[in-house]
Amino acid sequence: MRTLFVEAIEVLGPGLPNWDEAGAALRGEQRYASGEFDPGEPEILAPNERRRATAAIRLALRVTEQLAQRSSLDLAALPSVFASSAGDLHVTDRVCVALGRPGVPVSPFHFHNIVHNASAGYWTIGAHGCGGSTSLSAGEATFVTGLLEAACLVLAESTPVLFVCYEQPAPAAIDRHLPIVAPFATAMTIHPERAGSDCFAMHIEHVPKRDDTGMADETLERLRSGNAAARALPLLARLACRSDERVFFSTAPERARTSVAIHVEPA
């Protein structure tokens, strides 16, 4: 695939409040400590929506807002790709619980948010973004799949693209059957040309199946392997270290015979 450029990047999760502060842990200069986590309140939501926004929506919107601060681009003007493996299982849980109650009282508010593109919808509404937006899932390979769709979009449209990937643990009833260890989100602007103050060139290729690149730190590795969005961590670590060592990602589905290899270099 043609070389593309990461114009700006952000991260959000326990112990990783933003790209600048996450750097020390990603470079291994400081031991990663997860701690309490609250993604905060998205500013682009109207006050009534803000009150009712679920954890998954807040996570996706906050990391996007952080990226908007960091990027030199107007994110609202960009087409977007929102990737999440499981989506918003809190909403699924609420709707399913209502199905078992007398009168089947499915809440219109929960139903509003049941679509996988709810976060993307709130982003486009709040930011007044009229570009095309794709929301997808590819199970454990969701991060690299979303990145590839974003890269294809950059090439097809010759425009920078907003890519957001997030994953929020499910409520207890579902978590038992689909465990996600902690919330995690990352967002980046992918550009067809060299752009931005901390710009990286990104080279993407398909290779025969390889083991996924892991994280040296045990706690970060637990996050990486227990959250589909946190599969991004090894790539983020390379960016933080300004290392051009290749990172390998399994592609979907589980039995696929190819991996995606990515290496980055400061541009």
Partner 1 sequence: MTPTSAPMVPLYVNAYTLTSALGAGNDAALASLRAGRGGLREVELRTGRKTWLGLVDDEVIGAPLQGELAQFDCRAHRMLGSAVERDGFAAAVADARARYGAERVGCFVGTIASGLAHLEACYVRQAPCTDDLGSDVRVRHTAHLFSATEYVMRVLGIDGPSATISTACSSSAKVFACAYRHIAAGLCDAAVVAGIDCANEGFIYGFHSLGLLSAQPCRPWDRQRDGINIGEAAGFALLERVPHKRGAIALTGFGESSDAYHMTAPHPEGEGARVAIEQALRRAGLVPGDIDYVNLHGSGTPSNDRSEDAAIAAVFGGACACSSTKGWTGHTQGAAGITEAVLSFLSMRANLVPATLNTTDPDPELRTRVALENEARPVRRVLSNSFGFGGNNCALVFEVAQ
Where in 98-117 is the site for partner 1 (CB under 8 A)? 98-101, 103-108, 110-117
# binding residues, partner 1 (CB under 8 A)? 78
What are the residues facing 261 on neighbouring strands? 205, 248
Residue number, 145 or 186, with CB nearest to partner 1: 145
In eight-state DSSP terms, residue 152 is: H
CB neighbourhood size of 50 (10 A)? 17
| 47 is an interface residue for partner 1 by CB under 8 A | no
48 near partner 1, judged by CB under 8 A: no
- Nearest approach in angstroms of CB 59 to partner 1 is 17
Is residue 128 part of the contact set for partner 1 (CB under 8 A)? yes
On the CB side of 55, CA atoms within 13 Å amount to: 14
User: Which positions from 151 through 170 interact with partner 1, judged by CB under 8 A?
Assistant: 151-153, 155-160
What are the φ/ψ torsions at residue 187 (nearest 5 degrees)?
-145, 145
CB within 8 Å of 182: residues ≥ 6 apart: 13, 14, 34, 37, 169, 223, 226, 227, 230
**Nearest residue (CB) to partner 1, 98 versus 241:** 98
Binding segment (CB under 8 A) for partner 1, from list 13-21, 24-32, 146-154, 219-227: 146-154
Q: State which of residues 54, 64, 124, 186 lies at the interface with partner 1 (CB under 8 A).
A: 124
**Hey, what are 264's tokens?**
């980055």
Q: Which two tokens stand for residue 106?
A: 């499915």
Q: Does 181 bind partner 1 (CB under 8 A)?
A: no
Binding mask 66-85 for partner 1 (x = CB under 8 A): -----------xxx-----x
d(CA 219, CA 217): 6
Binding mask 205-244 for partner 1 (x = CB under 8 A): -x--------------------------------------
Residue 80 φ/ψ, nearest 5 degrees: -135, 155
